[in-house]
Structure 1
């Protein structure tokens, strides 16, 4: 089984996102198909199709598994570098993986019979301790459950792409961020990744999960976030086949979060909505997600499972990207230039900035964000093959296998990014006059299988709001001296890799920090 091979193929983060949202929400899904294709199974001619050549590991049977355990997603990228084949197959225990290199990735959106939900079930079933009903729904074993993925994708597009919804979420989330930044004292010590996780995931949770009426309003909110951080950042370890192989601390953290979510009564939440304290229940995001799950056969007893899947898809990617943003902004020269842009933006905006205008007003800030996605977007995107199908009209992908597209070979390609592709250089995304160019369109963190992460706009606006708030209010000084970006965590299961080390910094409030700064989203455009 895939879990037993410890395979961790990233879903879309959420582009979340922000990936997600980076990279991508875990429910973002559809069966990709060519517009000219007819319904039903493909008529395949085995004599004219090639089965991707198998690359054997150095250590028979377990070599590829050990390679992934040691190097994470970088192992798949290293395999791509070792062969001239545009697509090849590896076996990890009983799992068959077809790995697609960048030169064939443009054909992936046209491939039929790809599915995401069964892959999500394999990746997240054990780490999140999903129940049998939830796993059955994600396996898409019947016609009803196969309609679930496209409907969830539609719901996410309707929720996170329209400007009116973005405006609401940006302002709500910034309100929570402002509260956390305002509560920070000069001289306070924080662990950077931990603070960003609590702030962003907490803000996102409150905004999407019913505000003061939802589970993130629990008096033990910070304990929930702390334990959520502990187990979401260690899902690869939670994927071990037996509990005795897992650190008890991780099992305790997962149990704590599940118990708190299970204690949240959706019926009480609905009653509060009906009393007018918030919008009517059917108009809330939480209510629509629940109604959709039930419509397609999900058991009400599995509601905690569906919430955890949403949190796992929506939160970690934007947190990882934002953390890397501040690590790289520790470079004194880059920080000075970025602050100069932000100061001028605030001055010209008279204390009320529209984050939708940042691409024009602060191109270096956005260029730094794009370079973070490129540099740390070395994860892999995958799909399950639920019927025999073809790639590029030449290669046969067998039913029951998985197709994987590592992103690092593309994001490190010197023909695209220049001779210094291995260096962190935000300027590569700028024209000679300092404005943004179109190079960001070559980033693939938002998807390669024909469906882009619907949360990508929300993710970047969240990150921009946090960047503005922190950079204009505080200086960060690491306790251990120089602040250099740490190495990447190889245990990240999905989306952007998190830092391998959480850096402790001292926050010192700037004397000229702007007072009463307002952040909004007013423009009728989406530049990111």
Structure 2
């Protein structure tokens, strides 16, 4: 999911929350090209007026050291405005010896963890939780009604399981096993349909938009079956991405219906379609994934009305595509930008390709996704390196009770760890722009794309694993990572082996600049690139008549 800091109605909020409200969406609210920007500036001003009613925060001697801004009070906020995600990267570069520090933001504060070892320790702490932020964004961003919000705000006090914790159970269906194999088979079936429709002559595509539309349908059909609402109404594909693109506007402004009409309209259209889907009973169709069916069953058990159940699935629809599709785009472009990498991947993929003929005598090429991890180390390493280069998670948590974290410095002869106090109510961030771009972990070429970076020794692999957290960690480890792996690697494998992707002029594609937004877990291309990027695609000579198929983890195929 996109890890963003989100906030309830502005009255009676703590200074820390108000400060973070001003800071985290800063790249959206100060974008003067967006409608309503002036109201957003007023919203920020309001936050500061509200914060002025609070006492300046007290810093305990055991808390992480303060990293004071050069400009008092507002310096770090200005850094976020000017540099967005690069702000965190600069902090990490300038303070390589600080494993954790306190960042003053206005009259509030936030802890920033930079040490990979300390990040791992923090992710294991139950007292450092994403749940308070999940509750906060549920109403403003996802648009949950009072029935769901009541369950979130009033968990049982007798020690029984809460509704929020019950929502984790269906994600067992996304762990390796029969249910995941079934979903993988369905999504790869749709991927095969996409690539099999490409002909032997060059077709010019608005590449990002084409990829986004095609794979949004593939993913959502794997989840919701043939009656997937996005299939019933093609316009809803754009509505979903209108909503995704404006999520920060829903969070950061006090009157989003006035200042963010596009995402509001997109969300309403998706909610209407989902309600029609559930009212018609399509959630019981045989081709609906088990993870959806289990989520629905839990919500029925908790007594939620059908429209609330439908609204709840907007979250699943959203998280299934918002990070995977940009990652797929970046992997395609990083690969096809390098002709030698394309050739090396082709040689590797030939080793795990199976060929046959269908009943009509047509040549079939079959990939087994389960073989990739063992037989295609370069493909897997390329995927990991793409995520390292493009992941922009902030790793946000809230301290729900006073917590101590200990850290031992490398080379500390005494071996005595330093213990830090994290105060209840404070936000924590563990930005990937720090850990994924640390020279201590990744070497001096950290800013270069190296597809073989993850083909390494065991000792180096352990070091990398600590600093490489594209799917989060601990209780909040992304449950859909195996599903995304199958979809992305399956698609890239077939495209690399059987297709050519070049510019309209016939040259190698270039890597477009990334939009270092503060509210996207995977950075996307800049907005104008998303809309206008053109690329040509066709089948490789000698592969014109191939029908592509995929094998899921259970050894069965879908055609």
TM range (shorter): 0.7 to 0.9
1:108 corresponds to which of 110, 116, 122:
122
1:159 aligns with 2:190: no
Q: State whether residues 24 and 518 of structure 2, in contact with CA within 8 Å, keep that contact through their aligned partners in structure 1.
A: no
Q: Please report how far the alpha carbon of residue 109 of structure 1 lies from its aligned counterpart in structure 2 after TM superposition.
A: 3.7
Deviation string 1:69-107 (CA, Å, 9 cap, x unpaired) is 443333233333333432222344576421111252232
The match for 1:336 is: 343
Does the residue aligned with 1:54 lie in a helix, a strand or coil? coil
* Contact 1:114 1:383 (C-alpha < 8 Å) held by counterparts: yes
Work out which of the two has the higher radius of gyration on C-alpha atoms and give 1 or 2.
2
Residue 399 (structure 2) pairs with residue 385 (structure 1): yes
The match for 2:269 is: 256
Q: Name 2:540's counterpart in structure 1.
A: 510
- Check conservation: 2:84, 2:518, Cα contact below 8 A: yes
* CA shift for structure 1 position 50: 0.7
From 421, 444, 451, give the equivalent of 2:469.
444
Matching residue of 2:286: 278
Structure 1 residues 415 and 51: alpha-carbon distance in aligned structure 2, compared to 1, 3 A threshold? closer
Q: Separation in 1 of the partners of 2:83 and 2:145?
A: 30
- Tell me the residue number matched to 2:212: 197
Q: Partner residue of 1:323?
A: 329
Q: 2:281 aligns with which of 261, 268, 283?
A: 268
Structure 1 window deviating more from structure 2 (127-136 vs 315-324): it is: 127-136
Q: Given that residues 156 and 162 in structure 2 are in contact (C-alpha distance below 8 angstroms), is that contact kept between their aligned partners in structure 1? A: no
Aligned-residue offset at 1:304? 4.0
Q: Which residue of 2 aligns with 1:18?
A: none
Change (3 A) 1:379 1:57: same
Determine whether 1:406 maps to 2:418: no
> Deviation at 1:362?
2.3
Instruction: Give SS of 2:523's match.
Output: coil
Number of residue pairs aligned between Structure 1 and Structure 2 = 474
Shift in CA distance, 374/404, structure 1 to aligned 2, threshold 3 Å: same
- Could you report, residue by residue, the CA deviation over 1:337-359 in whole angstroms, capped at 9, with x for unpaired residues? 21232234325798332111113
Separation in 2, partners of 1:232, 1:96: 28
Residue aligning to 1:496: 522
Distance 1:266 1:259, change over 3 A: closer
Alignment check: 8 A CA contact 1:89 1:96 kept: yes
What SS does the corresponding residue of 1:472 show, helix, strand or coil?
Answer: helix
| Distance of 1:236 and 1:58 partners within structure 2 | 28
- 1:371 is displaced (CA, Å) by 0.6
Give the corresponding residue for 2:413: none
Q: CA deviation at 1:369?
A: 0.4
CA contact (8 A) 1:489 1:498 kept: yes
Q: Separation in 2 of the partners of 1:484 and 1:106?
A: 35
Select which of 84, 88, 109 maps to 1:76. Answer: 88
Instruction: Answer with 513-522 or 421-430: which moved more.
Output: 513-522
8 Å Cα contact 1:6/1:239 also seen in 2: no
Distance 1:354 1:152, change over 3 A: same
Give, in angstroms, the shift of residue 398 of structure 1: 2.0
Q: Equivalent residue of 1:265, what SS?
A: helix
Q: Report the Cα offset of residue 414 of structure 1.
A: 2.2
* 1:287 lines up with 2:303 in the alignment: no
Q: Does 1:465 align with 2:482?
A: no
Measured at CA, do residues 129 and 216 of structure 1 come closer, stay the same or move farther in structure 2, by a change above 3 Å?
A: same
Identify the match of residue 50 of structure 1 among 32, 45, 62: 62
* 3-state SS in 1 of match to 2:98: coil
**Displacement of 1:411 after TM fit?**
1.5
The aligned residue for residue 485 of structure 1 is: 511
Alignment root-mean-square deviation, CA: 3.4
CA-to-partner distance for each residue in 1:235-275, whole Å, 9 max, x for gaps?
A: 224433133774544443333323322333345325xx3xx
1:425 matches 2:450: yes
Per-residue CA deviations over 1:473-499 (Å, capped at 9, x if unaligned) read 321222376522112212362422112
8 A contact 2:155–2:163 mirrored in 1: no
Aligned-partner Cα distance in 1 for 2:461–2:64: 37
For the Cα contact (< 8 Å) 2:220–2:320, is it kept in 1?
no
**Unpaired runs of at least 5, structure 1:** 10-45
Classify the secondary structure of the residue corresponding to 1:479: coil
User: For 2:87, what is the secondary structure of its paired residue?
Assistant: helix
2:316 is the counterpart of 1:310: yes
Q: How far apart in 1 are the matches of 2:177 and 2:140?
A: 37
Secondary structure in 1 matching 2:191:
helix
The range that moved more, 324-333 or 110-119, is: 110-119
Matches of 2:297 and 2:551, distance apart in 1: 31
Moved more, 486-495 or 48-57: 48-57
Which secondary structure state, in structure 2, belongs to the residue aligned with residue 351 of structure 1?
strand
Is the contact made by 1:233 and 1:492 (CA closer than 8 Å) also made in structure 2? no
Cα shift at 1:420? 1.2
Q: Is residue 85 of structure 1 aligned with residue 62 of structure 2?
A: no
CA distance, structure 2, for counterparts of residue 121 and residue 445 of structure 1:
23
Q: Matched residues in 1 for 2:424 and 2:386: separation?
A: 36
Partner deviation per Cα, 1:189-220 (whole Å, 9 max, x = no partner)? 222222222222222211112x12443441x1
- Separation of aligned partners in 2, 1:94 and 1:175: 53
CA distance in 2, matches of 1:344, 1:383: 44
Superposition deviation, residue 62 in structure 1: 4.4
Give structure 2 stretches of 5+ with no counterpart: 1-6, 8-16, 27-57, 357-363, 407-417
Q: Alpha carbons of 1:431 and 1:81: their partners in 2 closer, same or farther (altered >3 Å)?
A: closer
Cα offsets for 1:111-136 (capped at 9, x unmatched): 34222222123346433334344444
Whole-angstrom distance in 1 between the partners of 2:453 and 2:294: 42
| Length-normalised TM-score, structure 2 | 0.75
Alignment partner, residue 236 of structure 1: 248
